[in-house]
Amino acid sequence: MEGVKEEVEQVSLPRIGSTAPDFSANTTQGEIRLSDYKGKWVVMFSHPADFTPVCTTEFVAFQEIFSELEDLNTELIGLSVDSISSHLAWIRNIEKNFNTSIEFPVIADLDRNVSTKYGMIMPEESSTETTRAVFVIDPEQTVKSIIYYPLTTGRNMQEILRLVKALQKTEEEKVPTPANWQPGENVLVPPPKTQQEAEERSQDDSLECIDWYLCKKKAE
Ligand code: BEZ
């Protein structure tokens, strides 16, 4: 509306490539600091509220990928603005109903310290709940990927696993990965920067080239 300025709180939110803001927080496994996780990959995710249907299915599904993430040197951290008692009661309820023991810490962000720093509350959707955000953070604590889903859509754990594997492959071999890439499949060759590079790759029999700018190669 003309003449009316919406007041928007100016918070500098993490972006891909920026340093993940450090925090200390109370969790179901005691106090944690993000900086304690240096040297490991972290998947930190928020959910809207304890004891809700989509979130419950997600918690069971996150636990199902917990060990595989651990094998990838990756720690899971959950978060909502619910209290520790609520988290504990919900976790016990999940154990009873699904025979699933939640092994990752869940932040009780009652003062919204972490969710505000990470832009997890989207007031246009809900001012009282965190949306379904996922932050993938690398061992140097750089934000590598951010995913947002609305309150009503449960996340796909296989995609989160695939994303971590793809990010790690890129970090290890400095190569991009194509659409739907899975471990073991060919990776992409970064686009050529010079005419000479473009010419050279068209002569390179070890590459599988569709065109001068689109070549695949075996992963190491
Ligand atoms: C759910 O987890 O089912 C849910 C939570 C908040 C809003 C809508 C759905």
Domain-wise residue ranges, the chain: 24-173, 175-220
N- to C-terminal Cα separation, the chain? 56
pLDDT score for 27: 99
pLDDT score for 2: 42
Distance CA 130, CA 116 (A): 9
pTM, rounded to two decimals: 0.94
Residue nearest to atom 7 of ligand 1 (CA): 151
Give residues with Cβ within 8 angstroms of 102, minimum separation 6.
28, 59, 63, 91, 94, 95
Distance CA 129, CA 170 (A): 34
pLDDT one-digit tens code per residue, 157-176: 999 999 999 999 999 999 99
Q: Is residue 192 a contact partner of residue 201, using CB atoms and an 8 Å limit?
A: yes
pLDDT score for 10: 60
Task: Report residue 165: phi and psi, to 5°.
Answer: -65, -40
Residue 144: which of 73, 38, 60, 41 has the closest Cα? Answer: 41
- The reply to whether 24-173 and 175-220 are identical in fold is no
Q: Does domain 24-173 have CATH number 3.90.640.10?
A: no
Ligand 1 centre distance from Cα of residue 217 (Å): 43
Ligand 1 centre distance from Cα of residue 207 (Å): 47
Where in the sequence numbering do the catalytic residues fall? 55
Q: In which residue ranges of the chain is pLDDT below 50? A: 1-8
- Two structure tokens written together for 167: 């990010």
- Which CATH number does 175-220 carry? 3.30.1020.10
Residue among 50, 51, 52, 121 whose CB has most ligand 1 atoms within 8 A, to mutate: 52
Task: Report residue 12: phi and psi, to 5°.
Answer: -80, 110
Pocket of ligand 1 (CB under 6 A): 48-49, 52-55, 129, 151-152
Ligand 1 centre distance from Cα of residue 76 (Å): 21
Residue among 55, 80, 130, 155 whose CB has most ligand 1 atoms within 8 A, to mutate: 55
